[in-house]
Structure 1
Amino acid sequence: MSGKLKEYIERLGTVWVEGEITQWGLSGGNAYGKVKDLSEDVTLSFRVWSTTLMKLKEEFRQGDRVVALVKSEWWPKGGTLTMQVYDIRHVGVGDLLAKLEALRRKLADEGLFDLDRKQRLPFLPGCIGLVTAKDSDAEKDVLRNAQLRWPAVNFRIRYATMQGDRAWSEVSGAIKSLDADPEVDVIIVARGGGDFQNLLPFSDERLIRVVAECRTPVVSAIGHEADHPLLDDVADLRASTPTDAAKRVVPDISDELARVRQARGRMAVRATGLVSAEIDRLASIRSRPVLADPDRIVSDRAEELTRWVARGAELVDYHLERAGLRIVELRGQLRTLSPQGTLERGYAIARLPSGAVLRRAADAVAGERIRLTLASGELAATVDDDRTPVADQS
């Protein structure tokens, strides 16, 4: 559980606290002590590393009222909470910090710090605008590191006072000048650190609003990692130092050339693979019978067509022969069943005067004339008393 608590506390950020030093001592170049929050009567232990002590321009002792930038630390073995001090000043700056915090909240509420307002930096800027003090270490750091990474990089430099009462106006004018230049792709505002009061111009509301209105991406490289003026919040990118700004804005030519070589290698492998696959595919297609021996299709189909033609002729002859035999058979059956055929065998058809066929002798009346139809022609006859028909000679 103590380890998890340490992980949670380490994720917390820094915070400014105000109180009275109740204990102060040096050991091994580091400072250890305690600070008491007078409003809540709470005492916290703190530690100041020697590297931080060397940057401090003021001396501290027990009983001093101070404001300190601290970060919480948890010691799992002892189960104790201490504060690591990144910056410490006498309490005179407490009011300024409160005003800056109020201004920070005001500008944040207006949306000036929103992430969706941030502009993306160009991959390789054609021209970089630099706002800095003339002959400053910040200028040298930015130029040197940028040219080491990309020797052909171009800069357009605007010098300005980077501390004091005129700083905000000169920096604002330089930024406006570079923003109006269509050749400038990104603007870096660089200063090589300083104490809290020297960095106050970069939290001036008027400067912050000028940066917020810029159409060109702005990179803030003010102070060191622990410094946090309001310019860092409104800028499109915050760099921890001027050197970091150069590295964030300008790509490394050696890295980019290595990426190009890798990309070309991958493209060559891919292209070679595609060509080899297509060669194999063409070889496979060419080996198919339809392409290996195209005449075979015609010859095979010609033989098949000849067979079907011969078969068709045989079937036509067969069906014609069967149809002829059927006609002869039907003709014979028709002749057999025809009344004419019966008459040709010697039979005759007797009809009464009414035209009805005489079938029985009893149906005939003596003396009645009837007609006899023969195979060829007709005869008239008269019925006698014994129902024996007598041919009429008249």
Structure 2
Amino acid sequence: MTDAPATREAPWPVALLSGKLKEYLDRLGTVWVEGELTQWGVSGGNVYGKLKDLEADATISITMWSSVRARLSEQFTQGDHVIALVKPSWWVKGGSLSMQVFDLKHVGLGDLLERLERLRAQLAAEGLFDAGRKRRLPFLPGVVGLVTGRDSDAERDVVRNARLRWPSVEFRVAYAAVQGDRSAPEVVAAIRRLDADPEVEVIIVARGGGDFQNLLGFSDERVVRAAAAASTPIVSAIGHEADRPLLDEVADLRASTPTDAAKRVVPDVAEELVRVEQARARLGMRLASMLTREIDRVGHLRARPALADSGWIVDRRAEDLTRWVARGTELVERCIERQTARVGELRGHLRGLSPQATLDRGYAIVQGADGQVIRRAVDAPAATILRIALAEGAIRARSDGAE
């Protein structure tokens, strides 16, 4: 080992640099870290794996010697949420850095519940759980979106039970991991993809139950916010009664199991036909009852004395009718007499003013050939042809000139 600085003329050997790195890292102490086991392999009693941050995209390699593993009281597997006591370890020969694990524990249930409660309170304060945000599911969806694991029992339960109830229902399935570190981003992507499909009328997010830690992906804030932002109604069918993931709170409908989701989303064709028949029967009974009631009312009206013998209406009014007819005849006759006298008077006045009355008294009317009345002698010189109108008839004459 040397403390001389490395230069271009006197570079350090690789072994020297690697050794110095090991010396430096060995002086560092241990630290507790939290993450998810994304890789867990045992070789020769030693464990080699990877620990991933739960939120950020960061991963470290870990190594646990068999002596440390033998002291652990818990069993671990890939996907577990853990806290680890680690110390940096540099492998000189291979030139790689790993974290040597001195202790490993599952994250306590109390810690997880506390975090979930804080997130639950935050989302509730934002109004994402309000009942007013819940949307009604369509009565008969033509296309149902389904977010679930590939080849899962949840998918078979939903599809089978839905088609038993309504054979013509169509499904659009978006597969996603339903546990582990890939669960939240894949479920979010599946919800958004189905929500963007204009033919999908409702989306079911289904998983066939599981323990508390396996369901953590459905309490992830990203999943909850994606469901709240979706314009298509969301049905949560995680299938776990004891633990309710946050997706249940924000969904428009919570189903206890995937089978229950199929029954809640798709109506039973047989039940609907029975309801239609029942409605038709009730309508027929109501109509028959209404007609019977109206027939009885008409019968009661016809049985009343006023309608049973209608002749009294005519008999009671016959005298009044006769009197008014006579009165009308008298008034018409008086009117005719008055108007007849008036016409006679007018005829007398008209005759008195008529030229015919003058002619009847012996006068005559002399007209020229053009029909003009001759009033002066000069208007009828000699040889003028004249027409003389008399009381009865007319004669032609010729003028001999003025006298």
TM-score norm. by structure 1 comes to 0.52
Residue 203 of structure 2 is aligned to residue 187 of structure 1: yes
SS at match of 1:274: helix
User: 2:162 aligns to what?
Assistant: 146
2:134 paired residue among 114, 118, 125: 118
Whether 2:226 is the aligned partner of 1:205: answer no
Paired with 1:309 and 1:184, the residues of 2 have a C-alpha distance of 82
Structure 1 residue 247 and structure 2 residue 273: aligned? no
The aligned amino acid for 1:270 is R
Q: Is 1:299 aligned with 2:298?
A: no
1:211 CA displacement: 0.6
Q: Which runs of 5+ in 2 are unaligned?
A: 1-73, 76-104, 327-403
- The aligned residue for residue 273 of structure 1 is 289
Report the Cα offset of residue 253 of structure 1: 2.6
How do 1:1-394 and structure 2 match up within 5 A?
92-288=108-304, 294-303=310-319
Deviation of the 1:300 alpha carbon: 2.8
Whether the 8 Å CA contact 1:189–1:219 is kept in 2: the answer is yes
Deviation by residue 1:197-253 (Cα, 9 ceiling, x = unmatched): 322211111111111111111111114211321111111111111111112222223
**Number of residues of Structure 1 aligned to a counterpart in Structure 2:** 225
SS of 1:212's equivalent?
helix
The 2-side partners of 1:268 and 1:163 are apart by: 55
Check whether the contact 2:239–2:255 (CA below 8 A) recurs between aligned residues: no
Determine the C-alpha separation between the residues in 2 that align with 1:261 and 1:164: 50
In the alignment, what sits opposite 1:10? none
- What's the TM-score, normalizing by structure 2? 0.50
- Structure 1 residues 136 and 307: alpha-carbon distance in aligned structure 2, compared to 1, 3 A threshold: same
Q: Within 1, Cα distance between the matches of 2:176 and 2:242?
A: 23
What is the CA-CA distance between 1:92 and the residue it aligns to? 3.5
Check 1:223–1:272 CA distance in 2 against 1; reply closer, same or farther (3 A cut). Answer: closer
Assess if the C-alpha contact under 8 Å between 1:199 and 1:223 holds in 2: no
State how far apart, in whole Å, the 1-side matches of 2:116 and 2:253 are: 20
How many Å separate the matches in 2 of 1:117 and 1:281? 52
Question: Relative to 1, partners in 2 of residues 1:178 and 1:296: Cα closer, same or farther, differing over 3 Å?
Answer: same
Deviation per CA, 1:167-225: give whole Å up to 9, x if none. Answer: 21221121112222222221100011223332221111111111111111111111421
Identity of aligned pairs, percent? 68
Q: Aligned partners of 1:142, 1:181: CA distance in 2, in Å?
A: 20
Give the distance between the partners of 1:290 and 1:92, measured in 2 at CA: 93
Letter in 1 for 2:188: S
SS in 2 for 1:104: helix
Q: CA deviation at 1:259?
A: 2.3
Letter in 2 for 1:116: G
> CA–CA distance in 1 between the matches of 2:325 and 2:113?
108
8 Å contact 1:221–1:245 — kept in the other structure? yes
Query: 1:1-51 CA distances to partner (integer Å, 9 max, x unpaired)?
Result: xxxxxxxxxxxxxxxxxxxxxxxxxxxxxxxxxxxxxxxxxxxxxxxxxxx
1:293 deviation in Å?
5.2
- Taking only aligned residues, the RMSD between alpha carbons, in angstroms, comes to 2.9
